[in-house]
Structure 1
Amino acid sequence: MSVATDRSATRRTREPGTPPRSLVALASAALVAGTGLAIWVLPAETGGWARAGQAPHVRVSPPHLTTRPAADRAPGPAPSPAGVRPSGFVTFVDTVRDPLYNLTRAARQSNVRWFTLGHLTAGQRGCTPEWGGGQEQDGNPVANRLGRLRAAGGDAGLAFGGPAGRELAAACTDLGRLTAAYRRAVGAFGATYIDFEVQDPGDDETVLRRAGAITALQREAAARGRPLTVSFTLPVTRTGLAPRDEAMLRASRQAGVEITAVNLLAPVWRTPAGQADLRPVASAVRAAHAQVARSLGVPTAWHRIALTPVLAGSRDLTAADARKLVAFTARNGLAWLSTRGAAPTSDVARLLTAMSR
């Protein structure tokens, strides 16, 4: 009997209950394919388990700031290498009061990744944003160095509003012209992040006009594949936000604004002995948390709160205070930490900016 005839007979005389080999081969192939699909849809990594109802909080260290060739450091609205959202420690720069501030040098010395440049308010023509309400938009030497900062790996956002001049939405009553004014500023500096420091929310029309302009800008940015991050900087007291500020946030969100963070301006209270007391700051943030969550329509909002203590003097914070602020920010997963007012001492500044490394 030939070999071919012998193998054919063996196939015809398989034991009862044993499936045909063709069926076994088909099932094996299906099993391999199914296993591959299951592996493909699983997350690549868990990054740690979060508590119920809470997303994992992951901190990513920023890249080390490096110097690139001079040809790459020309000013201009180049795309940001730092991403679109501030993180770590964010340095605020009053570009009118400190026109010689060197963004790139400050970034290298502290390794701070993000800056906020302020403040753009309405000029005499109402619908034209100017630095401090009196300096031409393209005439600011600090903002004009943004290209060098970005070439070094950092970035800066624009702050509208603030204490000097009128906020654009209050001065420019035409929605189209207001939107165009914001758009020109964002485009001129290639901004991926803008902040609105609202001293007075204004009437309902002002709130909705501002919200309409911001919403239009965010939709345009999303269509270009370059999202525009928006935050609101608001004062906070021991009891939290003022009711009108809470209402403004809620109305802006309902009008379509995607609010990434609410930056809380918290004064540093002092004890009768003259020492800083950070307990009221923590209480203010906790009180504001519930308000921010309600306003933004989310169950928890810790990661959407930024904290900015306002210093009356450079010695308002000690090294121990700085460590407490950094620990509080990290423990609660706040969006970022900053300061306003007087500049902290060099040793305190080193501790605060260390969270950006």
Structure 2
Amino acid sequence: MPVATDRPAARQAREPGTPPRSLVALASAALALTTGVAIWLLPAEAGDDRAVPGLDARAGVTASGLATRSTAGPSPARSVVSSTGRPSGFVTFVDTVRDPLFNLPEATGKDRVHWFTLGHLTTGRRECVPTWGGGKERDGGLVADRLSRLRAAGGDAGLAFGGPVGRELAAACTDLDRLVAAYRQAIDTFDATYIDFEVQDPADAETVLRRARAIAALQREAEAGGRSLIVSFTLPVTGAGLAPSDQTMLRSTREAGAEITAVNLLATVGPAPGPGLTRGSLRPVASAVRAAHPQIAESLGEPVAWSRIALTPVLSSSHDLTPVNARRLIAFTSRNKLAWLSIRGAAPTPKVARFLTVSTY
């Protein structure tokens, strides 16, 4: 797939995928493998990855409103995978709209996935009220309803705001106090320690500043309560790295007082250039990560930022990732200490998915 140069087009192209429920966790695993493989092919140094194809973020959205705390159930003492409440290893993205019955506890036990990201929360008919996919409220049956059982099984989940469909809360809710309250509602409802923002309007300076101030306020509240609130941004990456508007957004968000733990890079994995050539489609992903690294480091005010990069390859076909490439991906990820791996797009083969989820822990 050619490198995307038009930012709006790249963002609009990200339509949610619709793989069978049973393959969601597996798909996530395999895609992550793909990314790593591509990167692994470059030198082992943490600066080894440069030029990537256009991105298609196959993210989904929910047509149902937030469950109440009583619906979601009280959160038991956390048997958390990370004492800091931040994602690690392999993170499965769950489209709560297209797969509202996805069984989080079962995936943790069967597929050995311990971290999930649930998306996407956007504004609905009321501009300052978070809803799944901006849709109407629906009683019961939501993925998020299973969070208490997931945590009891040793897993955890974060919340994704924004995405390819609907408006992110900060763009619609222009009153800062109400915006903070809206984010807080979602965080408190699901007892979340991790939130992600998949931003579609990075060039809107007022929205960027409003969101940043809201995040900073929520992080101060969490710290005062003896907790942490981990924040990441999910952004498309190409061979040139991040778009200039995304780099500016990250820098402005940091300067406004918000702490960004990681930048999750969405990188498209294209088909292999020929029969038996499994590496060709992965090199662009590695190149994209390399191009984005110095940009992310500068935006976050860090000399080195490899541990602040999460990687989410987007597969166009389950054949884009092989077991051999999966092993290389795991090795690269470990060597360069990337924050976490995820996957979107086509489902990988079950064998590859199992290897990824087992090997990242």
AA in 2 matched with 1:86: P
TM-score scaled to structure 2, two decimals? Answer: 0.76
Cα offsets for 1:247-268 (capped at 9, x unmatched): 0000000001111100000100
Which stretch has the larger CA shift, 171-180 or 267-276?
267-276
CA distance in 1: counterparts of 2:333 and 2:223, whole angstroms: 29
CA distance in 2: counterparts of 1:300 and 1:264, whole angstroms: 16
Q: Describe the shift of the 1:325–1:137 C-alpha distance in structure 2 as closer, same or farther (beyond 3 A).
A: farther
User: Where does residue 75 of structure 1 map in the other structure?
Assistant: 73
User: Where does residue 142 of structure 2 map in the other structure?
Assistant: 141
- Max radius of gyration: which structure? 1
CA distance in 2: counterparts of 1:353 and 1:136, whole angstroms: 33
Confirm whether residue 96 of structure 1 aligns to residue 94 of structure 2: no
Kindly, what percent of the aligned residue pairs are identical? 69
Residues 81, 154 of structure 1: 8 Å contact kept = yes
Residues 170, 202 of structure 1: 8 Å contact kept = no
Q: How many Å apart are 1:209 and its aligned residue? A: 0.3
Q: How many Å apart are 1:135 and its aligned residue? A: 4.2
User: Where does residue 179 of structure 2 map in the other structure?
Assistant: 178
Confirm whether residue 298 of structure 1 aligns to residue 296 of structure 2: no
User: Where does residue 6 of structure 2 map in the other structure?
Assistant: none
Q: Describe the shift of the 1:251–1:139 C-alpha distance in structure 2 as closer, same or farther (beyond 3 A).
A: farther
Task: Give the gaps of 5 or more residues in structure 1.
Answer: 1-53, 55-73
Confirm whether residue 160 of structure 1 aligns to residue 194 of structure 2: no
Residues 75, 151 of structure 2: 8 Å contact kept = no
CA distance in 1: counterparts of 2:246 and 2:138, whole angstroms: 28
Cα offsets for 1:193-246 (capped at 9, x unmatched): 000111222411000000011111000000000100000100000110000000
Q: How many Å apart are 1:319 and its aligned residue? A: 1.5
Residues 272, 320 of structure 2: 8 Å contact kept = no
User: Where does residue 64 of structure 1 map in the other structure?
Assistant: none
Q: Describe the shift of the 1:259–1:80 C-alpha distance in structure 2 as closer, same or farther (beyond 3 A).
A: farther
TM-score scaled to structure 1, two decimals? Answer: 0.76
CA distance in 2: counterparts of 1:85 and 1:160, whole angstroms: 16
User: Where does residue 31 of structure 2 map in the other structure?
Assistant: none
User: Where does residue 118 of structure 1 map in the other structure?
Assistant: 119
Task: Give the gaps of 5 or more residues in structure 2.
Answer: 1-45, 47-71
User: Where does residue 39 of structure 1 map in the other structure?
Assistant: none
Aligned pair partner of 1:330 in 303, 326, 334: 334
CA distance in 1: counterparts of 2:78 and 2:219, whole angstroms: 17
CA distance in 1: counterparts of 2:274 and 2:251, whole angstroms: 40
CA distance in 2: counterparts of 1:217 and 1:140, whole angstroms: 29
Cα offsets for 1:77-128 (capped at 9, x unmatched): 4453313111001111001101121000000012221111101011111111
Calculate the aligned-residue CA RMSD, in Å: 1.8
Q: Describe the shift of the 1:119–1:338 C-alpha distance in structure 2 as closer, same or farther (beyond 3 A).
A: same
**Which protein, 1 or 2, shows the higher relative CO under an 8 Å CA cutoff with sep ≥ 6?**
2
CA distance in 1: counterparts of 2:247 and 2:134, whole angstroms: 26
CA distance in 1: counterparts of 2:262 and 2:74, whole angstroms: 27
CA distance in 2: counterparts of 1:306 and 1:120, whole angstroms: 20
CA distance in 2: counterparts of 1:153 and 1:175, whole angstroms: 35
AA in 2 matched with 1:81: S
